[in-house]
Chains A and B, each alone.
Chain A
Amino acid sequence: MFVVATIMIILGMVLTLMRLFGGPTVYDRVLAVNLFGTLTVLLIAVKGFLSGRPDFLDIALLYALINFVGTIAVLKFFRYRAIGDYARTRDDEEEQS
C-alpha cells in the first residue's frame, strides 16, 4: 500500500511542478512551491515506511519547518523587497513629505 501512496504522491508532485513552471503570476508559483513542500514532507514520511526505516521522519519534520519559513520569507520579500531590513516604501516617503 505504501507503494501505491508513493506513486500517487510523486504524480501529484509532477502536476505541482507543471503549475510551478507555468504559473502566470508569482503567487501561483509560491502556492505551488508551498504545495510541493507539503507533498515532499509526506513523500519522505511514506518513503521511510516503505523502506522499513521510519527514522526518515526527523528529516520530514526538518523539511516541514524549512518549507514554512521559506514560504513566508519569499512572500515578505515580494511585498517589501527586503527580508530582514526595514525597506522604505512609497507610503513612508509620502508620510515624511
Chain B
Amino acid sequence: MSTAALIQEVLSWVLVVSGAFFALVGAFGTWRLPDFWSRLHAASVTDSAGMILLIAGMCLQSGLTLVTVKLIVIGIFLFITGPTATHAVANAALVSGLRPREAEGLIAAEPEPLTVAGGAEGDAEGTRKETAGAA
C-alpha cells in the first residue's frame, strides 16, 4: 500500500468514526436534555457535524467515482434541508407559545409580545388562544 493510499485510508477512518460519534452525541442529547429548546440544539449536532463528517469519510473511501457524486448530492441536500427543517420546527414551537424553561429562582422579565410578519399569525397570546380553540 502506497503512502498516499494509507493516508487516505486513515483519514477516511477518522472521519467516519468521528461522524458516527457526533451522530450518537446528537441523539443522546435529544434523549437526555431537559426541554425542547435545548433538545433542538442537540439535534443540530447530528444534522450538521455528524452528517458532514460521515459523508466526507465515505467520499474519501470511494475515491473519484459516481458514488462520490451521489454522496456529494446527498450531502448538499441534507446541508440545505437539515437547518431548514430545524428552523421550521423551532418557528412552529415559538408561534404556538412554547417558551424555554427558566432556572429556578430566576425572576425573568415578561417575554416580549411576539409579532410575526404577514399579519396572519397574530401575536403570541392570540395564537395561544387560537391553538386552544382549535384543540
Contacts between chains A and B (CB distance < 8 A), count: 145
Cα distance A38–B54 when bound, in Å?
12
Tell me the count of chain A residues lying within 8 A, CB to CB, of chain B: 46
Residues of chain B within 8 A of A30, CB atoms compared: 89, 92
Q: Evaluate contact between A71 and B85: CB separation under 8 angstroms.
A: yes
Interface residues of B in 5-44 (CB under 8 A from A): 12-13, 16-17, 19-21, 23-24, 26-28, 30-31, 36, 39-40, 43
Q: Evaluate contact between A28 and B39: CB separation under 8 angstroms.
A: yes
Interface size bracket, B side: 35 or more
Residues of B that sit less than 8 Å from A by CB: 12-13, 16-17, 19-21, 23-24, 26-28, 30-31, 36, 39-40, 43, 46-47, 50-51, 54-55, 58, 61-62, 67, 70-71, 73-74, 77-78, 81-82, 84-86, 88-89, 92-93, 95-96, 98, 119-120, 122, 126, 129-130, 133-134
